[in-house]
Chains A and B, each alone.
Chain A
Amino acid sequence: MQSFLTKRAISSGVSLLLLIVAVFFLSRLTGDPTDLYLPVDASAEARENFRELHGLNDPLIVQFGHYVADLVRLDFGESIRRARPALEVVIEAFVWTFQLAVITMAIVSAAAVSLGALAAFHVGGAFDRIATFFSLIGASAPDFWIAIVAIVVFAVGFGWVPTSGTGTVWHWILPIGVLFIRPFGLILQVVRGSMISALGSAYVKTARAKGVTPKKTIFVHALRNAMLPVITVIGDQAAALLNGAVIVETIFGFPGVGKLMIDSILQRDFSVVLAAIMVTALAIFLMNILIDLAYAALDPRIRY
């Protein structure tokens, strides 16, 4: 167990390092931030001062050296745009994204797992057909389209919820609702398939021969076995949300890390981009460990 965690930490550390290298140099390819931040008619001197101030005059490799040296001290640099520490800006946004991801995934998992399990119990029954139909639509619908339609219908048309921004509980409803649809469809399909094979298994036959009730057979005997492939998909979907639901956050003006990243890239605010990538990468690394631990908790045959 200990050695497993150590190994995972080392391999993740290496990936993180490669990520830093790739992101640092690739982001420099997007152009010189000076052009963006100073007025078009700024003097050459002003430009030179700006470059000097932000270390943009040094050779790339020296800039990279400085950057890594600062990273070791957990200093991600300053946001050029906001004139605040980049890490602070990112964490502020990440907290929003994290809340959105956790709430969405909690609702999605509960709904998809219970409905998928019930659908599998009577394969081909009315409930199964309805659930399969809607989950397939959900899994294949593009979320930017759903987001726009949702705003038009529920915010503009009925006026039930605000169109964008944050502040009240009502602001959360549309982003969560839109983010819910695709993972829900995907996870429900996986749960259903996995449950069908679990319910056809020999140990379920044993449970029936013991006189176990159908409810207990589904939710105690079959479901825990069926959850293993489901956990993988849930983790995958959660990772996508943690990365920042870029499109949905942008459409709903939600101040999460996805929107922050897009804005910072457009603004060539490199420190923020890098900090955002590091924070989300770390979050995804932690979540993968959580998934591995969940595997071991669910299945005694898996031990690290």
Chain B
Amino acid sequence: MADRDMQGPLLQVQNLTVTFQTARGPVHAVRNVSWHIDRGEVLAILGESGSGKSVSASAVMDLIDCPPGIIETGEIFYQGRDLLKMSRGLRRTINGKKIAMIFQDPLAHLNPVYTVGWQIEEAMTIHGMAQSKAQAETLRLLRKVGLPDAEVAAAKYPHEFSGGQRQRLMIAMALALKPDVLIADEPTTALDVTVQAQILQLLQELQAETGMALLIITHDLGVVAEVADRVVVMNKGEIVEQGTAAAVYANPQHPYTKRLMAAAPGQGALHEGEQSSPILELKDLRKSYGAFEALKGVSYVLHEGETLAIVGESGSGKSTTARLMLRLEKATSGQAIYKGRDLFTLSDQELFRMRRDIQMVFQDPTQSLNPRMTVYQLISEAWAIHSDILPKTRWKSRVAELLDQVGLHSEHMHRYPHQFSGGQRQRIAIARALALEPRVIVCDEAVSALDVQVQGQVIALLDRLKAEYGLSYIFIAHDLPVVRDFADRVVVMQGGRIVEQGPVRQIFEHPRERYTRDLLAASLDPDPEIQARRRAARLGKEVA
């Protein structure tokens, strides 16, 4: 194909089809994908896991390993020249210099054994800059991304920084040579909500300053609403819809996009729970690790049939509270009163009996389900341990019943966890928790790792089971929109303390504490218009 003239888009992907050879035959990662991006523009590629949203960016960066990957058709034009026809060596001169990329999980993406200063310098020296100049530039870049003590920071290693700081380091490294295009693959996914807001703001500022094109790959409608001019929606390796972010949100055309928009959390009616009797009460719970106080006196009450959400950023102590309550760790002081008894003073035998009543569902079902046990074994194991619940002759029919209740096929009980999707695995984990007929289920970030549509389904399932079994939930989460839709009451934690607690309406509509307001403000709304208004408010300007 003839080269484009310089009037064309800065970066253009055309009819890209990539397949991967797997043991089970070829898999189409993306099919006939086309998009383009121009200087000064923010394009978002939106999709759920497995949608192929990162594949075209990997093709741009020459990060697809061939084999097993095969680029079957397509062109990728950068300034009119087809990258796919260039030599590896030539592409390396573009990578990092003209087109740069940052990733999710910056800790894994920074080399653990070199100082961050060295790594940022390398981004420049590799493209021919003199060492001394690169050193000076590194310090300037570190200050620019909000690490003011640049000399000290440059000599440190990645593990010595916080998650948000690490993403700032990645950004400094990517922007070192003032690239034309910055590709950000899920740049804020692992970060706390307030940190996410800061990183997105930094990206927007830097883009406005340099006029680079910014390609954001994300699963999060809120991120799209906050930063994107245009959006490309992907599903199962194909683009189903593209347009301006506002138009796609307000008026989605494709059925998939419609479903996706409808599934976005934070849009449902608020729960108006009536007060019932307390079932579990924490009194002045404290926990220290050496000199470090992880919990500084936490008290809250869980009522019968209630969903109590514990929200907070990482390090706030929200999971520690649950671990202490279940006696997975020993509390330094305090009480946990369940049915009139202090859980912390129970004998081993009483504890064994209590464990049945309070069950837990974890964030990552891939890790919390033993991969070498079938679903039947995973669920019935509970009855082998607590032998008085169910006679062995009834195990099979009860497993079938439970699977049915969590929306899985009962004939799949002899399959292994890896044969299910992430959402299905979380359903298995819920079925396992239900097997012991608990009164309380602690969900520790139980839906955080799931795609938004699956998230909605699991939440609906939890809601239904609550009514059927008369359960109470302690729902630990960092994702405020999900909490808003699901919780009856909310406890907001920060730095080992409770900042504020109350009914969900009070917390979301009339927060009293500044920290709660900050959290809510940092949380992103899927509606681009609302985000535009918030952005304007942040900048202290009126919306036109």
Residues of chain A having any CB pair with chain B under 8 Å:
201-203, 205-213, 216, 221, 224-225, 298-301
Q: At the interface, is chain A mostly helix, strand, loop or mixed?
A: helix
- Of A203, A208, A299, which one neighbours B110 at CB under 8 angstroms? A203
**Distance (Å) between the CB of B243 and the closest chain A CB?**
29
**Which listed segment binds A: B100-108, B367-375, B431-439, B492-500?**
B100-108
The answer to whether A206 touches B111, judged by C-beta atoms less than 8 angstroms apart, is yes
Tell me how far the C-beta of A223 lies from the nearest C-beta in chain B, rounded to whole angstroms: 10
Q: In the assembled complex, which residues on chain A have CB atoms less than 8 Å from the CB atom of B100?
A: 209-210
Residues in A whose Cβ lies below 8 Å from that of B110: 203, 206
Considering only CB atoms, which chain B residue lies closest to A200 in the complex?
Answer: B65
Between A and B, 28 residue pairs with Cβ closer than 8 Å are: A201-B108, A202-B108, A203-B108, A203-B109, A203-B111, A203-B112, A205-B63, A206-B109, A208-B61, A208-B62, A208-B63, A208-B95, A209-B63, A209-B96, A210-B100, A210-B123, A210-B173, A211-B93, A211-B95, A211-B96, A211-B97, A212-B92, A212-B96, A225-B113, A300-B112, A300-B159, A301-B112, A301-B159
Given known contacts A206-B103, A301-B157, A211 and B111 CB-to-CB distance under 8 angstroms: no
A206 surroundings in chain B (CB, below 8 A):
103, 109-111, 170, 173
Among A209, A221, A298, the residue within 8 A (CB) of B111 is A221
Partner of A202, one of B97, B103, B114, B173: B103
What residues of A have a CB within 8 angstroms of the CB of B123 in the complex?
210
Which residues of A have CB within 8 Å of B63? 205, 208-209
Dominant secondary structure of chain B at its interface with chain A: loop
B150 at the A/B interface (Cβ < 8 Å)?
Answer: no
A221 to B111 alpha-carbon distance, docked (Å): 7
Specify which of B97, B111, B126, B127 lies most central, judged by the most chain A CB atoms within 10 Å of its CB: B111
B95 touching A209, Cβ below 8 Å: yes
Tell whether B94 is near chain A: CB-to-CB under 8 Å.
yes
A207–B105 Cα distance when bound, in Å, is: 15
Q: Which residues of A contact B108 (CB under 8 A)?
A: 201-203
- Chain B hits for A301, CB < 8 A: 112, 157, 159
- Inter-chain CA distance A221–B103, complex, in Å, is 17
Is B122 an interface residue, CB under 8 A from the partner?
yes
Name the CB-closest residue of B to A124: B67
Contact string against A for B residues 52-82, beta-carbon threshold 8 Å, 1 for contact and 0 otherwise:
0000000001110000000000000000000
Count residues of chain B with CB under 8 A from any CB of chain A: 29
Residue of B nearest to A203 (CB): B111
A205 vs B104: C-alpha distance in the bound complex, in angstroms?
12
How close is B513's CB to chain A, nearest CB, in angstroms?
37
Within 8 A of A (CB), among B372-390: none
Smallest CB–CB gap between B159 and chain A, Å? 5
Which residues on the B side are within 8 Å of A202 (C-beta)? Answer: 103, 105, 108-109
Q: In whole angstroms, how far apart are the Cα atoms of A124 and B94 in the complex?
A: 29
Cβ-closest chain B residue relative to A224: B113
A208 contact set on B, CB distance < 8 A:
61-63, 95
Asked if A210 meets B157 with Cβ closer than 8 Å, knowing A202-B105, A203-B108, A203-B112, the reply is: no
Interface set of B (CB-CB < 8 Å, partner A): 61-63, 92-97, 100-101, 103, 105, 108-115, 122-123, 126-127, 157, 159, 170, 173
By a CB distance below 8 angstroms, the chain A residues around B126 are: 210-213, 216
**Bound Cα distance A221, B95 (Å):** 17
Closest 7 CB pairs of A and B: A202-B108, A211-B95, A211-B96, A210-B96, A203-B111, A300-B157, A211-B92
CA distance A203 to B493 in the complex (A): 34
Chain B hits for A213, CB < 8 A: 92, 126
- B-chain residues with CB within 8 Å of residue A221 when the two chains form the complex: 111
Please indicate the chain B residues that have their CB under 8 angstroms from the CB of A211 in the complex: 92-97, 126-127
Q: Which residues of B contact A224 (CB under 8 A)?
A: 113-114
| Cβ–Cβ < 8 Å partners of A212 in chain B | 92, 96, 122, 126
Decide if B61 touches A225 in the complex (CB within 8 Å): no
Q: A203-B109, A209-B96, A210-B95 known; 12 other A-B pairs, CB under 8 Å?
A: A202-B105, A206-B110, A206-B173, A208-B61, A208-B63, A211-B96, A212-B96, A212-B122, A224-B113, A299-B113, A300-B157, A301-B159
Q: Tell me which of A206, A208, A210, A216 has the highest count of chain B C-beta atoms within 10 A of its own C-beta.
A: A210
Measured in the bound complex, the distance between the Cα atoms of B127 and A232 in whole Å is: 36
Most B CB within 10 A of own CB, among A201, A202, A212, A299: A202
Chain A residues whose C-beta falls within 8 Å of the C-beta of B159 in the assembled complex: 300-301
Is the pair B103, A225 in contact by a Cβ cutoff of 8 Å?
A: no
* Given A202-B103, A300-B157: A207 touches B111 (CB 8 Å cut-off): yes
Contacts of B92 in A (CB 8 A): 211-213
Measured between beta carbons, the chain A residues less than 8 angstroms from B122 are: 210, 212
Given contacts A300-B157, A301-B157, A301-B159, contact A209 B101 (CB under 8 A): yes
Least CB separation from A210: chain B residue? B96
B41 to chain A, nearest CB (A): 21
- Residues on A with C-beta less than 8 A from B111 are 203, 206-207, 221, 225
B520, chain A: closest CB distance, angstroms: 32
Residue of B nearest to A212 (CB): B126
Minimal Cβ-Cβ distance residue in B for A228: B113
In the assembly, what is the distance between CA of A221 and CA of B92, in Å?
Answer: 16
A209 vs chain B, min Cβ distance (A)? 4
- How distant is A295 from chain B, measured CB to nearest CB, in Å? 11
- Contacts of B109 on A, CB cut-off 8 Å? 202-203, 205-206
* Chain B residues with CB under 8 A of A207: 111
Chain A residue with Cβ nearest B107: A202
* Identity of the chain B residue whose Cβ is nearest the Cβ of A225 in the assembled complex: B113
Q: How far is the CA of A301 from the CA of B113 in the complex (A)?
A: 8
With the chains together, A225 CA to B157 CA distance in Å?
A: 14
With CB as the reference atom, state the residue of chain B lying closest to A209. B101
Kindly list chain A residues whose C-beta atoms are within 8 Å of the C-beta of B62.
208
| Complex Cα–Cα for A116 and B532 (A) | 54
* Residues of the A chain whose Cβ atoms lie less than 8 Å from the Cβ of B170: 206
Q: How far is the CB of A185 from chain B (nearest CB, A)?
A: 27
How far is B62's CA from A104's CA once the two chains are assembled, in angstroms?
41
Partner of A209, one of B61, B93, B105: B61
**CB nearest neighbor in A for B173:** A210
- On chain A, the residues within 8 Å of B114 by CB distance are 224
Which A-chain residue is minimally distant from B89 (CB atoms)?
A213
Complex: A162 Cα to B40 Cα, angstroms:
76
From A208, which residue of chain B is reached at the shortest CB distance?
B63
The CA of A299 and the CA of B159, in the complex, are separated in Å by 11
| Chain A residues positioned under 8 Å from B127 (CB to CB) | 211
Question: For the complex, what is the distance from the CA of A208 to the CA of B122, rounded to whole Å?
Answer: 12
Complex CA gap A211/B176 in Å reads 13
Distance in angstroms between the alpha carbons of A221 and B123 in the assembled complex: 13
Separation of A71 and B109 alpha carbons in the complex (Å): 54
What separation, in Å, do the CA atoms of A293 and B93 have in the docked complex?
Answer: 38
Which residues of A are found within 8 Å of B115, using beta-carbon distances?
Answer: 300
| Complex CA–CA separation, A207 to B111 (angstroms) | 9
Question: Which chain A residue shows the least CB distance to B60?
Answer: A209
Q: Which residue of A lies closest to B127 (CB)?
A: A211
How far is the CB of A219 from the nearest CB of chain B, in Å? 13
B173 neighbours in A (Cβ, 8 Å): 206, 210
Residues of A within 8 A of B101 (CB): 209
Q: Bound state CA distance, A301 and B156, in angstroms?
A: 11
In the complex, which residue of chain A has the Cβ closest to the Cβ of B170?
A206
CB distance from B161 to the nearest CB of A (A): 12
How far is it, in angstroms, between the C-alpha of A212 and the C-alpha of B118 when the chains are bound? 13
Which of chain A's residues have a CB closer than 8 A to the CB of B61?
A: 208-209
Q: How far is the CB of A30 from chain B (nearest CB, A)?
A: 50
CB distance from A239 to the nearest CB of B (A): 25
Bound: A211/B100 CA distance, A: 9
Q: Which residues of B lie under 8 Å from residue A216 when comparing CB positions? A: 126
